[in-house]
C-alpha cells in the first residue's frame, strides 16, 4: 500500500474511527496525514514555529536509537537496512566515504563503535525486558479522527503492540529513575502517553529505557502517575482545541505580545542578597 492509498484511507475516516496497519514503512508513516505527538508538542510550544519553522531533519545522532529499535523490534530486517562503516574509511569528508554512502543509500550507516553500542544495548534490553517485546506485534501504526475536532486526525506508531498495552522503547544517556522521570516530563513523554492511549484505545502505555553507554543499564516498565496524566490530558485538550481553530482560521500565532517583566533567577537573587549584605 503506497502513501497515496494510505492518505485516501485516512481522509475517509469518520469521527472517532481508527485505522490500524501492521508493518507499515516508518518513512511513509511520518509522511502520512495526521498529527503525531511530536507535531502536537511542537504546536503547543509555538504554533508559528510549528507552521512556518524549519522542517524536522534526520540527524546522525538519531541513528543509534533507530538501530537499537530494529535489533529489538524487527531483527529479521536488520541486515537489509543497516551496515557498518568500513575501518579503512577514516573520514566522512573523504571521497571513499561519499562513494560508500552512495552505494548504500538505502541503508543506515553506523561507525563500528556505535554499531557495537547498538548491539549491546539491544542485548541488554532483551536480557532484562524480553517479555515486553515477545508475543505481540512490532511497529504498528494507528490513525484516528477526533470525535469533537473533526478537522484533526491524530496518529501514533507503537513500538510493540499488545491487546491492551503499548510499549515504547527509549534510549537515554541516563536511565537513573529519578533523572529519567524528570527528563520524561521535560521532553513531553506524558503527552505522548495520553495521545497514544487515545489513538490506540489501549488502557496502558509504558516505556522501556536503555542507556547508551556501558554497562547499558535498563529500566521499565515506566508509567506516568495520575497527576502527570492529568496534566497531559488538560494540555492535550487545550492544544487540540487551539489547533482545530488554527486550522479553521489559518491563524498560527507566535509568542504572546505584551509587556514582559524580566526578573532574576533564584541564584541571581542569592548573589544580589550577598552583595547587599557585603559578603562578596
Predicted confidence band of residue 38 (pLDDT cuts 50, 70, 90): very high
Q: What's the mean pLDDT in 247-266? A: 91
Sheet of 204-211: strands edge to edge? Answer: 18-22, 137-145, 153-162, 165-172, 204-211, 218-222
Inter-CA distances, 192 with 106, 113, 256, Å: 29, 31, 25
pLDDT, tens digit, for every residue of 132-187?
Answer: 999 999 999 999 999 999 999 999 999 999 999 999 999 999 999 999 999 999 99
Using alpha carbons only, how large is the chain's radius of gyration in Å? 22
* Rounded CA separation 15/248 (Å): 17
Measure the N-to-C terminal CA separation of the chain; round to a whole number of Å.
70
Kindly indicate the confidence band of residue 55, based on its pLDDT and cuts at 50, 70 and 90.
Answer: confident
The CATH number assigned to the domain holding 244 equals: 3.90.320.10
Number of domains in the chain: 1
Helices within the chain (DSSP H only): 3-11, 26-31, 37-45, 47-52, 63-73, 78-81, 95-103, 112-129, 177-186, 189-200, 226-249, 266-276
pLDDT interval class at 279 (50, 70, 90): low
Residue 264 resides in a domain: no
Would you say residue 278 lies in a domain? Answer: no
Mean pLDDT for the stretch of residues 263-269:
94
pLDDT for 280 equals 58
If phi > 0 it is left, if psi is from -120 to 50 it is alpha, else beta; for residue 264 that is: beta
Q: Is the pLDDT of residue 68 over 80?
A: yes
- Is pLDDT of 56 > 90? no
38 in a structural domain: yes
In a domain, 271, yes or no: no
Range of the domain at 9: 3-253
Torsion region of 261: left, alpha or beta (phi above 0 gives left; psi -120 to 50 gives alpha): beta
Helix axes 37-45, 226-249, angle to 10 degrees: 80
Across the range 246-261, mean pLDDT stands at: 91
For 202-215, what is each residue's pLDDT tens digit?
999 999 999 999 99
Residues in Cβ contact with 122 at an 8 Å cutoff, skipping those fewer than 6 apart: 68, 71, 72, 75
The answer to whether residue 59 is domain-embedded is yes
Q: Is residue 197 part of a domain?
A: yes
pLDDT at residue 257 above 80?
no
d(CA 280, CA 276): 9
pTM summary value:
0.89
190 domain-assigned: yes
Confidence of residue 91 (pLDDT cuts 50, 70, 90): confident
pLDDT attached to residue 258: 83
Q: Is 267 among the domain residues?
A: no
Instruction: Report pLDDT for 256.
Output: 77
Amino acid at each position: 500500500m503506497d502513501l497515496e492509498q494510505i492518505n485516501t484511507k485516512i481522509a475517509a475516516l469518520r469521527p472517532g474511527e481508527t485505522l490500524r496497519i501492521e508493518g507499515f514503512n516508518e518513512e511513509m508513516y511520518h509522511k502520512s496525514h495526521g498529527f503525531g505527538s511530536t507535531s502536537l508538542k511542537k504546536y503547543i510550544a509555538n504554533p508559528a514555529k510549528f507552521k512556518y519553522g524549519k522542517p524536522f531533519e534526520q540527524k546522525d545522532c538519531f541513528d543509534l536509537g533507530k538501530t537499537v529499535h530494529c535489533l529489538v523490534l524487527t531483527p529479521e530486517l536488520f541486515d537489509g537496512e543497516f551496515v557498518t562503516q568500513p575501518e579503512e574509511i577514516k573520514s566522512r569528508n573523504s571521497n571513499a566515504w561519499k562513494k560508500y554512502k552512495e552505494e548504500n543509500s538505502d541503508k543506515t550507516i553506523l561507525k563500528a563503535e556505535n554499531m557495537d553500542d547498538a548491539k549491546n544495548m539491544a542485548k541488554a534490553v532483551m536480557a532484562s525486558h524480553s517479555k515486553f517485546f515477545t508475543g505481540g506485534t512490532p511497529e504498528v501504526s494507528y490513525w484516528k479522527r477526533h470525535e469533537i475536532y473533526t478537522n484533526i486526525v491524530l496518529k501514533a506508531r507503537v513500538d510493540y503492540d499488545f491487546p491492551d498495552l503499548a510499549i515504547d522503547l527509549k534510549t537515554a544517556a541516563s536511565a537513573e529513575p529519578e533523572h529519567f522521570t524528570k527528563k520524561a516530563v521535560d521532553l513531553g513523554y506524558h503527552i505522548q502517553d495520553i495521545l497514544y492511549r487515545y489513538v490506540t484505545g489501549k488502557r496502558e502505555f509504558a516505556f522501556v529505557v536503555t542507556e547508551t553507554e556501558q554497562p547499558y543499564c535498563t529500566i521499565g516498565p515506566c508509567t506516568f502517575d495520575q497527576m502527570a496524566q492529568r496534566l497531559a490530558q488538560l494540555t492535550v485538550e487545550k492544544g487540540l482545541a487551539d489547533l482545530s481553530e488554527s486550522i479553521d482560521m489559518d491563524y498560527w500565532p507566535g509568542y504572546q505580545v505584551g509587556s514582559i517583566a524580566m526578573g532574576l533567577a533564584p541564584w541571581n537573587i542569592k548573589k544580589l542578597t550577598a552583595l547587599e549584605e557585603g559578603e562578596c
